[in-house]
């Protein structure tokens, strides 16, 4: 199985772009996880799954727009001109990872909205799916390192537990 970073590097993508894509995917997953954790605290038996889906869509869309805005302004500041078509495509590909990170939670919440799950249950499934996604990203990130197998495993466990820590902190803070 090839990962997004493998195919990007095979096609001659600059390492910086692969870095940006992975960073945005992690940022999107962690931000979506944090959003769901806050929303879960205020989700009751009467909370509409459609409302939670809209909450996630607005939060994710806002983060995506902010990422694009930041890239555009940074490009103007560094290069003194607007980005060219290829640079805009690279920005959209990288920032699109934020939107992609919310696909599984959106699917689970849609299932709840259609009556297949309770909203509260769907929130927890979506959160743990994101923790699993963080673990998968960590696994892909460490697999080519020079670490020993047990160091790779430990690194993946530590990075994946970061998602759990985010979940707990957000739940306690709100």
Q: What is the pLDDT of residue 12?
A: 60
Please provide the DSSP assignment of 82-107 as one string: PPPHHHHHHHHHHHHHHHHHTHHHHH
Dihedral angle sign, alpha carbons of residues 78, 82, 84, 87:
positive
> Over the stretch 67-111, which tens digit does the pLDDT of each residue have?
999 999 999 999 999 999 999 999 999 999 999 999 999 999 999
Question: In this structure, how many other beta carbons lie within 10 angstroms of the beta carbon of residue 72?
Answer: 15
Distance of alpha carbon 133 from the chain centroid: 8
Q: Look up the pTM and report it.
A: 0.81
**pLDDT for 1-48, tens place per residue?**
444 544 444 456 678 878 888 889 999 999 999 899 989 989 998 999
User: What confidence score (pLDDT) does residue 2 get?
Assistant: 45
Q: Which residue has the tokens 């500041």?
A: 77
Measured CA angle at 145 (ends 155, 167), to 5 deg: 30
Q: What is the pLDDT of residue 18?
A: 81
Distance separating alpha carbons of residues 84 and 7, to the nearest angstrom: 23
Section 130-142 average pLDDT: 87
What is the secondary structure of 131-153 as a DSSP string?
Answer: HHHHHHHHHHHHTTSS--HHHHH
The predicted-structure confidence for 137-169, as pLDDT tens digits, reads as follows: 888 888 888 999 999 999 888 888 877 787 778
What local confidence, expressed as pLDDT, does residue 155 receive?
86
Average pLDDT over residues 110-120: 96
| Cβ proximity of 67 and 95 under 8 Å | yes
């Amino acid at each position: 199985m090839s990962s997004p970073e493998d195919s990007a590097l095979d096609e001659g993508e600059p390492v910086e772009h692969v870095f940006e894509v992975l960073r945005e995917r992690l940022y999107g997953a962690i931000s979506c996880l944090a959003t769901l954790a806050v929303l879960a605290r205020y989700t009751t038996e009467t909370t509409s799954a459609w409302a939670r889906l809209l909450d996630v869509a607005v939060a994710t869309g806002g983060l995506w727009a902010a990422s694009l805005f930041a890239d555009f302004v940074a490009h103007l500041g560094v290069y003194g001109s607007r980005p060219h078509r290829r640079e805009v495509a690279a920005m959209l590909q990288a920032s699109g990872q934020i939107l992609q990170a919310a696909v599984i939670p959106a699917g689970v919440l849609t299932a709840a909205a259609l009556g297949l799950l309770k909203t509260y249950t769907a929130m927890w499934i979506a959160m743990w799916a994101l923790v699993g996604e963080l673990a998968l990203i960590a696994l892909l990130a460490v697999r080519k390192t020079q670490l020993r197998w047990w160091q790779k495993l430990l690194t993946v466990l530590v990075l994946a537990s970061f998602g759990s820590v985010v979940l707990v902190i957000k739940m306690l803070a709100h």
